[in-house]
Structures are given as structure tokens and as C-alpha cells.
Amino acid sequence: MPDLLETEALDAFYGDFQALFGVDFRVRAAETVAIIGANGAGKSTLMKSIMGLIANRPEAIRLRGTPVGARPAYEMAAEGVVLVPEGRRLFRSLSVEENLIIGGRLKRPGRWTLDAVYDLFPVLKERRANPAEHLSGGQRQMVAIGRALMANPELLLIDEASLGLAPVIVKDIYQSLRAVREADTAIILVEQDIAQAMAVADRVYCMQEGRIALEGIPGELGRAAINAAYFGTEAT
């Protein structure tokens, strides 16, 4: 299976502060890749870099083999790369349906329509006229994912899918991702819940201090190696 997106020696900066150091990363078509790591490890910065929110050298990021590291976010979205940001970032005064419609403004062809999103998240159909600010945290996350799906992405980036949500809601969110995978959409998932990440991913990367500390297939990675990469301790 060919690489859909890959980074090579990717650095990232916030002003004079360097947040990523030579990151090599890849995701294949229709693959789910999880990125784990402690707070401040560089996970969100990697996602922002891939999305075009942090500019880089063109050749540092390649999409379908084409250098895209210097492209802005709106061009990446037009190419089928879409981000569900940490914190949802909804238009809080707009209704559920208005938020979803905004996600479809690029009019990329694909299976995801309003009806398809409502089938995936029935509670959103019930509340489609409600302002986003009146929703629960879990419902807002559903809107954020639905808005991204309305762009019919080939690659969906989800930053902290379960952060701050009750376990029963997290279960529903991850259940919905199965339908996304079945649509042959590649997913990059940032997740602090190691067990959750390992359960859904085809491959996993662990980041530490802006670098890749570990990469592999979940079933082949031992707990000691994961803990060592996550916390920066020696594996025993």
C-alpha cells in the first residue's frame, strides 16, 4: 500500500522556539495511525504542520508524493486533508446544521452528506437547529467530526478525540470512527489514552520532546517499550 502522506526530517518552530526535530512520519491510504505522548511532546505541532497551519520546507511534507510543506491550510483541505482540532473550535452561535454545512463548502465528492452525518450521529439530527454553544462536550465533538467529514477527506486528522469526555461518550466517538475507516479514509489520531489508541490503530508513533521515540504495530510493542518511549525511562 503506497504512502498517502509522509514527512521527512520535519522541523517546526514557534518563533525562535523549536518544537519538532527531524520527524519522519508516514500514513498509508486508508490506514489509521495513532500518535501518543505526554503533554508538550509535539503531537499537536505535528498535526498543525501536516495541516499547513505551520509552514515548512516544501519537501519536508509530501502528499501522494508531491511536496506540500509550504502550502497553507486551505489548500491542504482542498486536497482532502482535514483537521478536527483540539477543543472542537465550533462556531458556537451557529446551529449544528450550519456548522456542518460550513464543513461541506469545498464540495469535494464523496459519501459524506448531511444525511450521512446524521446517520452516523443521530443525536445531531435531533439537535440540528440548536446553537453549538448549547451542546454537551460529547455532542460538540460529534459536530466537529461531522463538520470535517462533510469535506469528504482522504486523510482525517483528529487531535485529542477523547479529551475531557465521559467514557460512554468516548466509546460512541470511537464506534463512529469505524464507519470512517470503512469509507477508506486514512486517519491520524492524537490520543493520550494509550489503551484506546492501541486498540484502534494499525500503527502507532510515540513522541517525546519533539522527536519520534517509538514506532510500530500495536500488537508487537511491549508495555515496557511503550512506557520507556512515553515517559523517557529505560525499558526493563
CATH number, domain of 200, equals 3.40.50.300
- CA torsion 167-168-171-173 (nearest 10°) is -100
Assess if residue 32 is contained within a domain. Answer: yes
pLDDT value for 236: 47
Distance (Å, whole) CA 24 – CA 21 = 9
Q: Give domain status of residue 186, yes or no.
A: yes
Q: Please check whether residue 236 lies inside any domain of the structure.
A: no
- Of the candidates 215, 207, 154, 225, the one whose C-alpha atom is nearest the C-alpha of residue 26 is 215
pTM of the shown model: 0.92
State the average pLDDT over residues 12-33: 96
Structural domain harbouring 71: 3-231
**What does the pLDDT look like over 112-162, one tens digit per residue?**
999 999 999 999 999 999 998 888 888 999 999 999 999 999 999 999 888
State the total domains in the chain.
1
